[in-house]
Amino acid sequence: MDFGPRFLSEEQIAMREEVRKFAQRDVASRAAEIDRTAEFPWDLYKKMADMGLLALTLPEEVGGAAVNLVGSALIREEIARVSATVASLQAVSLEGSHFLVNHAPAHLRDKYLPRMMRGEIVSAFCLTEPTSGSDARGIRTRAVRDGDNWVITGSKQWVTLGAIAEYGVVICVTDPAKERGNVSAILVDLKNTPGIHIGKAEELAGLRGTKTAPIQFDNVRVPYTNLMGEEGQGLRLGLDQINKGRISVAASAVGIADGAFQAALRYSKERVQFGKPIFDFQGVQFKLAQMAMRIDAARLLYLTAASMQDKGEGSVQLASEAKLFASDSAAWITDEAVQIFGGYGYSKQYPVERYWRDAKIMQIFEGTNNIQHVIIAREVAKTLAA
C-alpha cells in the first residue's frame, strides 16, 4: 500500500515519481550486471548526481534540495526496490556530504563537497575495525599529535567504498588517557597520502558493487587542520546521524522486501501446477498475505520514525524498531519469495536470490539486530523509571 501521499508534499510526490521512472528505466536493467561483476556503476552514480539525488537532503545554501527524512527515505525505498546496491551508494554519498557540511573545516568542505555533489568522487566512513564492530569504544586506531600533523596508525575493516574512495573520515583515539571523549574524526586523503594500504575489495554475498575493503594506516601523517569538529567528538559526530541512518536502512529493507514480493506475486500468477496457477493454492496465498502485511507495517513504522525525526521529536527506540522490524521482515519475505519460486528461486535466472542476499546485510549494518534489541529494551526500561 502506498502511504507516501499522506506524508509528502506535491513537489516531493513528483520527485519520487521521477526517481521511480529512473529506477525502472535505468537501474533495473543494470541490477543483475552490477551484482555479477561487483563493479561500481559510475554512470548511474553520475546520473543520480545530475538528478540532484546526491544533494537531495543537503541545505539549499550549498546547492542541495533540503528534502526531509521522510522524502529521502521514500526515495531510497524506490531505488532499493530494483537495486539495493545503487540505493546504498546514494545513501552513503549523502551521509558523507552531510559530514562535510556539518563538521568539516571550510578548506576541506570547499575542496570535496562540490565534487561529491557532482558525482565525481566517493567518500568512506572508517569506523569498524577487525576487533571492534558494534563496540565502537573498542577502537584501537591511534592518532598522535606531532606538531602541525596527526600521525595515524591502525586498521579499519568493512569500509564501504574503501577501495575507491577519494577521502575517508577516520575515527581514531586521540587521547588514550581518557576513558570517554577520547575519540576524534580526522579526514584523510586516501589517494595521495603515504602509508595507506588499501586491501582488495571484499567478495560480498550482497550489496556487490559497494567496493567494501580493509584499510591499513601505517604512520600516516595528515594536517592537524583535517580534524572534523572538535577533538574528542568523533563518536558523538557519528552517533548524531545514527537514528537517521537506521531509518534509512529500514527504508532500503522495505524496498528489497517489496521488490521480492512483487516478483513472487507475478510468478505465482504465471506458474501453473496441477492445472492451475500456484497463486490459487491457499499455502501460497497465506505467504503472500503475510508478505504484504509485513511490508505495510514496516513502511508505516519507518515513515512514522522519519516524520518524528523531521519534527525534532526523534526517538531512539522508534528508529531502532524500524530498522529491526524492517530488516527482519525483509529477510523473511525474501526467503519466502525464494520458496514460492521453488528451484528457479535458487537460480540467477530470476532476481529473488539477489534480493535474498541483499536483505541479509540489512540485519547487520547500522548496528546489528542483536544490538537493536538491546537498545529497544533499554529505552523501554526507561519508561518504568519515568
H-state helical runs in the chain? 10-22, 28-37, 42-50, 69-80, 84-103, 106-117, 234-240, 242-270, 282-310, 316-341, 352-362, 369-385
Asked if residue 302 has pLDDT above 90, the reply is yes
Torsion over CA: 183, 188, 193, 197 (sign): positive
Asked if residue 148 has pLDDT above 80, the reply is yes
Q: Give me the pLDDT at residue 180, please.
A: 65
Higher model confidence: residue 4 or residue 189?
Answer: 189
Using one digit for the tens of pLDDT, what is the confidence trace for 238-289? 776 788 999 999 999 999 999 999 999 999 999 999 999 999 999 999 999 9
Cell 542541495 belongs to which residue?
64
In one-letter notation, the amino acid at residue 154 is G
Answer yes or no: are the C-beta atoms of 151 and 219 closer than 8 Å: yes
Q: Choose the catalytic residue: 11, 120, 366, 379.
A: 366
Other C-beta atoms lying within 10 Å of the C-beta of residue 323: 35
Would strands 123-126 and 167-173 be described as parallel, antiparallel, or unpaired?
parallel
Q: Give me the pLDDT at residue 134, please.
A: 67
In the chain the domains, ranked by start, together with CATH numbers, are: 4-117 (1.10.540.10), 123-237 (2.40.110.10), 241-385 (1.20.140.10)
Using one digit for the tens of pLDDT, what is the confidence trace for 40-94? 999 999 999 999 999 999 999 999 999 999 999 999 999 999 999 999 999 999 9
Using one digit for the tens of pLDDT, what is the confidence trace for 290-300? 999 999 999 99
Residue 332, classified by CB atoms within 10 Å of its CB into exposed (0-12), middle (13-18) or buried (19+), is middle
Answer yes or no: are the C-beta atoms of 166 and 112 closer than 8 Å: yes
Answer yes or no: are the C-beta atoms of 364 and 322 closer than 8 Å: no
Task: Tell me the pLDDT of the chain averaged across its residues.
Answer: 94
Whole-angstrom Cα Rg for the chain? 21
CA distance 168 to 159: 9
95 annotated active-site: no
CA distance 104 to 269: 53
Q: How confident is the model at residue 234 (pLDDT cuts 50, 70, 90)?
A: confident
Average pLDDT over residues 345-362: 97
Average pLDDT over residues 135-147: 88
Q: Smallest Cα–Cα separation from 171: which of 121, 211, 117, 135?
A: 135
CA distance 266 to 161: 35
- Residue 193 — φ and ψ, nearest 5°? -105, 125
Using one digit for the tens of pLDDT, what is the confidence trace for 169-225? 999 999 877 766 689 999 999 999 999 999 999 999 999 999 999 999 999 999 999
Q: How confident is the model at residue 5 (pLDDT cuts 50, 70, 90)?
A: confident
Other C-beta atoms lying within 10 Å of the C-beta of residue 160: 24
DSSP 67: -
Residue 264, classified by CB atoms within 10 Å of its CB into exposed (0-12), middle (13-18) or buried (19+), is buried
